Chains A and B, each alone.
Chain A
Amino acid sequence: MASISPDDPWRPTASWEALCHRAQVLRQLREFFYREGFVEVETPLLCREVVVEAHLDPLSLTLFAHPSRADQGPRYFLQCSPELGMKRLLAAGAKAIFQITRAFRAGEQGPWHNVEFTMLEWYRAGDTQEQALGRLSRLVAQVLHTPGAQVVSYREVFRHHVGVNPWHASAGELRQAVRRLGLGEPAGHWPEDDPEPWRQWLFAQAVQPRLGWERPVIVFGFPPSEAALAQLCGNPPVAQRFELFVQGVELANGYHELTDPEELRRRLEQENHKRRRLGKPPLPLPQKFLALHQAGLPDSWGVALGVDRLVALSCQAQRLEEVIAFPTPRA
């Protein structure tokens, strides 16, 4: 028999044991949602429109009709998440839906990122905050065999690990905290007047690595500038959004979904404004998405969870490629 190097590019990067384990986790996830009364749905990966986000870059292609004119046809996107299709179903009357699907994000490749990844996303109309958090906590505890999640507020956890109030700290104060905590020096362009990138740096490097070692941690209530498509409430306003962390890995992201069509348009435009400031081309406003909000999106909570990361955490893998057969660089 010819000798085979484990580095032959045709070979999977994940072991067969890891892939069998992955199949078990997928099965567990489906069974969980069937038991909870959710219906599994499928929405297109190839979409005419995407939700505009400053820091998510969708891949796109030309939907040509004939290969001799491959550059002629409408531009379609590979979805960054199934949010758009699933909200269309909710607005059309669906009550509790889940989907396990592929999502694509340009440029996101690293030990805990793969450009093409598997996402579990679910929505339930009429959920309360407790119901939404409780379901996520049960799901993760079941798959990872951990106690239920601890819920902490963004403000508290940030203050605890960074030592400043994330709501009121200026860019200058946050920059000082970066230095004080020994996170290294900024290089390139870091705005002096905008606290948001500094706050994200501190959260990613000083807070997140410490979260979820004894049990999963749900961080609740994000700054309004990071609301994405979550509702704001309270005074000062807090985004009704949460993230779940296990062993320093961001695993899931949940929103009390924004329903107001005017506010939605404003936020999408704001994201395009941020994109321009970051030197990225703006994305077209998603017209069908705006229209479904005009028609009426029921009050709901939606949660997205990175399945590859969940599988990796459940078998003590150090990198996603240990649980993905053919990661994008080898696809």
Chain B
Amino acid sequence: MATYHTSEFRKGLKIQLDGEPYLMIECNFVKPGKGNALYKCKLRNLIRNTVIDRTWRGGETVEAADVEEVRAQYLYRQSDKFVFMDLKNYEEYELSKDQMDDAWKFLKEGMECTLLLFNGQPISVTPPNHVVLEVTYAEPGVRGDTATNVTKTVELETGAQITCPAFVEKGDKIKIDTRTGRYIERVK
């Protein structure tokens, strides 16, 4: 099992704690003149996305997390399971709705995305930064109201609801930034 020594600690390291993978998002070196070095780190849990603080004494080692990103295609949804296919070896992976987090809102069948594997098992998915989805339900807009600061909530083909300008109508295709979940523009 690969390990990291505290002297190798840096931002971006992927480590394993209590059986779960974490990304080191911050690492501060503290060393009193006459005392032990401390490594005060902020870690993001790659499964649950929570952030924790952990402090190590210098000289310790920690297990590296076996984490890998693969290009995959979203195939279909089967009740609470989402099925993906690895584009390299055609292997199929499943994620639960919980593991999908917000990604289900933006993924439609056939879309390419990035799957994160931990010990060979999928733990999360990242959709493309921008996706184009069809509006399947929208309250009719008020005629002549083209101001973009008037908003309404519409439903997308994935079943997700999103806030967008009042002029967007049923059947429109809209571009969305999946990192913020925000409407960007209407696509002709």
- Chain A positions near chain B (C-beta within 8 angstroms): 53-55, 107-111, 113, 183-190, 197, 200-201, 203-205, 208, 226, 228, 243, 250, 253, 278-280
Contact = CB atoms under 8 A, between A and B. Distances in A.
B36 A228 contact: no
B32 A184 contact: no
Given A203-B32, A250-B33, A187 B40 contact: no
Nearest to B56: A188
A184 B57 contact: no
Interface of B: 7, 17, 28-38, 40-41, 52-62
A250 to B, nearest CB: 6
Closest 6 CB pairs of A and B: A184-B53, A110-B29, A188-B60, A187-B54, A200-B35, A188-B56
Contacts of A201: 38, 55
A264 to B, nearest CB: 16
A55 B33 CA distance: 8
A113 B38 contact: no
A183 B29 CA distance: 14
B34 A55 contact: yes
A197 B29 CA distance: 15
A201 B38 CA distance: 8
A205 B53 CA distance: 13
Contacts of B28: 110
B15 to A, nearest CB: 10
29 contacts: A53-B34, A107-B7, A107-B58, A183-B53, A184-B52, A185-B52, A185-B54, A186-B56, A187-B41, A187-B54, A187-B55, A187-B56, A188-B60, A188-B61, A188-B62, A189-B57, A189-B60, A190-B57, A197-B57, A204-B35, A204-B38, A205-B30, A205-B38, A205-B55, A226-B34, A226-B35, A228-B34, A250-B32, A250-B33
Query: Which of B28, B29, B55, B62 has the most chain A CB atoms inside 10 A of its CB?
Result: B55
Contacts of A109: 29
Query: Which of A108, A204, A208 has the most chain B CB atoms inside 10 A of its CB?
Result: A204
A216 B37 CA distance: 24
A280 B59 contact: yes
Contacts of B62: 187-188
Contact of A204 (B30, B56, B61): B30
Contacts of B53: 183-185
Given A204-B30, A279-B59, 6 more contacts: A107-B37, A110-B29, A184-B52, A185-B52, A203-B35, A253-B34
Nearest to A185: B54
B44 to A, nearest CB: 14
Contact of A183 (B32, B35, B55, B61): B55
Nearest to A222: B34
Query: Which of A110, A113, A187, A203 has the most chain B CB atoms inside 10 A of its CB?
Result: A187
